[in-house]
Structure formats: structure tokens, C-alpha cells
Amino acid sequence: MSEKIIKALTGNEAAAYAMKQIDPDVVAAYPITPATEIVQIFSDYVNNGKVSTEMILVESEHSAMSACIGASAAGARVMTGTSSCGLALMWEVLYVAASSRCPIVMCDVNRALSGPINIHCDHSDTMGARDTGWVQIYSENTQEAYDNLIQAVRIAEEANVRLPTMVMFDGFIISHSMEGIEVASDDVVKSFVGPFKPVRWLLDTDKPFTFGPLDLQDYCFEHKKTQANALKAVKPVVLKVAAEFEKTFGRKYGLFETYRLEDAESAIVLIGSTAGTAKDIIDELRDQGRKVGLLKIRLFRPFPAEEIRDALKHLKSVTVLDRYESFSDAGGALYQETRSALYDLSSRPKINGITYGIGGRDITKDEIRKIFDGSEGVTYLGVRE
């Protein structure tokens, strides 16, 4: 296990610090609030000779991801960072990165997607990108942001995965709040991620291949199925990397985290920093003799439906919180996928979906208590009618 080093860092500083320790070959970036500091701080590491990274400053986020794809295809370990409308501007090439099996690692600071223009936290940016073929890993706090970014490199580059991976944490709530976190030495992180070993690369002239071809009716379907198979391989890889991470760093991770769930009768399912507040309320209600718990999603893509079903099947009721508006009139993606995971149970929990926290709206302890007091029929929490 590595020596404990404690640093006071914001979420953005922790992400940049992890990137510095990973020392990727190429970082292509275009800054956007509230993720600007990640690439800004990292550019100082580049300028001061702390990394050997080639940093490419481009004219837009679309160009940033395009440069990442080109560098990855050429055989480089590649990273970047963005948020909100920046991620949306990458939309077209997010699909290209995934279908080309480029193991790019991106840090996205969750921020509302315009309009109206808003710079604060919700999950509309990455939820909109959930079906692009990228692995998606969410973080509750600064420690998890740092740890997940390190693990993401190993996950993305695993031989039977080779898929781009995005790591998320909540804008301003985590990105700009300072916490004391445990970090490892540069040598330990470099050893954990290991050297990058491209499967094939465009600059290998002895083994030429076609990259990004036109793919019509004859083979497109088969190629998409191959890509889907790679996503199916992600869950065991996430668990394998987490087990190795625990041995080295001493912190445990899984596909999701459960909190006082084993003997609970009712629970909430959510993503991100709200889990910290929810845990406090669960402790208070437990002291009052109420059997309540929490399931916090870490891996959202691919969605661990089978494992979530097993974790929730004993409950009487489940409330799922989505921090974005899906406009489906049937709840957000987390609610829909959790409900789908539970559907085939012969005796399933009563399940309710709630939308909350849009545009950075705070969720209070009293509102979380209200969920456990019974929120049937409540689809929005914390909105002024």
C-alpha cells in the first residue's frame, strides 16, 4: 500500500494533479467554466517541465476531441477535460472516438446545458452523452474524482475494452470546493497506470490499416455490435482495476456504493455529490429507528442493471433522483434504467422518480427527509410552483 500523502485540493486541482501524475502523451483542450482550471493548471505543469505531455490548444471543444482522436489513432495516451456546452460541441466526435475504439480519458465537470444559460451543476451534459459509447464514471467528492481518473486510464486501455472513458464530478460543488484528500506519489501512480501499449497505430508503417472508414449497410451493424460487446466487458474490468487499486492505494471501489442498505426497507438511488448530504440524513433517521439506505451510482455506462437489481430487490420502496430534466414525462434516465432493472422481479419494490437540483438548485436536508417520509406522486423536488 502506498504512503499516505494528504493535500488540500479542489476537485479541479485534484483532477489536474492526477493528470500530472499520469503524464499522458497528449492533452488537447479548450477551456470552459467550471472545468477551465483543470487544463489551466495542467498547462502550468507542461510549461514548468513537470510532465512530458504535448499540449495542443485548439479553437473549440469539437477541435479538442478531434485532436484527441488523431493523437490516439497515432498511438498516444490521450486525456482532456470539458464541461456542459463544451461536451455538447464535441457530440459528433464523441461517437467517432468510441466507434474507433480510442481509449481517451476525459474529465467532465457536470454543468447545466444551455439554455437558458447557466454555469452551475446538473447532469444534463453527460446524461445527454450517455449513448455515445463512452464509459461513464461518476464521483461523489474530490477524493473520488482523483481516484476515478487514475483508474479510468487502466479501464479505458484494457485490451478487451479499448473505449474512451469520461470521469465526472459536480460543477462548483466539487470542482471549486477544497477538501483534504489522500494522494499517492508520482512514482506509485505511474507504476499503477503503467506504460501505454497501443494495439495498432497509424504511424506504424509496417502494418498499415484504414481508420475511420465509410461503413454502410454491409458492415456497420456488425461493427456496432462489436462495440457493444466491448462495453459488456467493462464491468469485470472496473472491478478488477478497483481491486488492484485497493491493494495499492487502500481505498475500495465497486460498480456502485451502498450505504446502510443491507437491512433497509426503503432507499434512494442517486448520482454525485448529493450522496454526502443523503448519508447524513440516513444516519439521523437510523438513530430514530428507521430502516433507510442509499445506493450511489459510480458506473453509469455500461449500466450495472443485474447488480443493482440484486442490491435493491429486498426493499419495500425505492426513490430514484435524477439531476436533470429528461423531457420524457416518464422520469430521467437513472429512474428509467433502475426501474427496468427491477421490472422482472416477481415481487419488486415500489419505485418513484424525482427530478431535482436543476441549474445548481440546492437540495436540503429537509427535502431529503421528505423523500423518506413518503414522496409518492412527487416528480419535482425543490422547484417553486
**Averaged pLDDT of the chain:** 96
Same domain, 71 and 195: yes
Same domain, 261 and 328: yes
Same domain, 142 and 39: yes
The parent domain of residue 306 ranges over: 256-381
DSSP state of 22: H
Q: Among residues 215, 249, 283, which one ends one of the domains? A: 249
Q: Among residues 193, 218, 249, which one ends one of the domains? A: 249
Q: Tell me, what amino acid is at 342?
A: L
Same domain, 97 and 160: yes
Domain count, the chain: 2
The CA radius of gyration of the chain, in Å to the nearest whole number, is 21
Q: Among residues 249, 266, 298, which one ends one of the domains? A: 249
The domain that holds 373 is classified in CATH as: 3.40.50.920
DSSP state of 203: T
Same domain, 239 and 205: yes
Write the burial class of residue 170 (CB in 10 Å: 0-12 exposed, 13-18 middle, 19+ buried).
buried
Task: Count Cα atoms within 13 angstroms, Cβ side, for 143.
Answer: 13
Same domain, 159 and 296: no
User: d(Cα 67, Cα 30) in Å, to the nearest integer?
Assistant: 11
One digit per residue, pLDDT tens: the chain, 385 residues? 777 899 999 999 999 999 999 999 999 999 999 999 999 999 999 999 999 999 999 999 999 999 999 999 999 999 999 999 999 999 999 999 999 999 999 999 999 999 899 999 999 999 999 999 999 999 999 999 999 999 999 999 999 999 999 999 999 999 999 999 999 999 999 999 999 999 989 999 999 988 988 999 999 999 999 999 999 999 999 999 999 999 999 999 999 999 999 999 999 999 999 999 999 999 999 999 999 999 999 999 999 999 999 999 999 999 999 999 999 989 999 999 999 999 999 999 999 999 999 999 999 999 999 999 876 566 999 999 8
List the alpha helices (DSSP H) in the chain. 11-22, 36-47, 61-73, 84-89, 91-99, 124-128, 142-157, 186-193, 220-232, 234-249, 274-287, 305-312, 333-342, 365-373
Q: Count each helix (H run) and each strand (E run) in the chain, helices first.
A: 14, 15
The domain that holds 176 is classified in CATH as: 3.40.50.970
How many angstroms separate the most distant Cα atoms in the chain?
Answer: 70
Same domain, 46 and 128: yes
Same domain, 229 and 184: yes
User: d(Cα 302, Cα 333) in Å, to the nearest integer?
Assistant: 13
User: d(Cα 118, Cα 12) in Å, to the nearest integer?
Assistant: 19
Unique residue bearing C-alpha cell 429507528: 289
Same domain, 208 and 105: yes
Same domain, 170 and 145: yes
Same domain, 38 and 70: yes
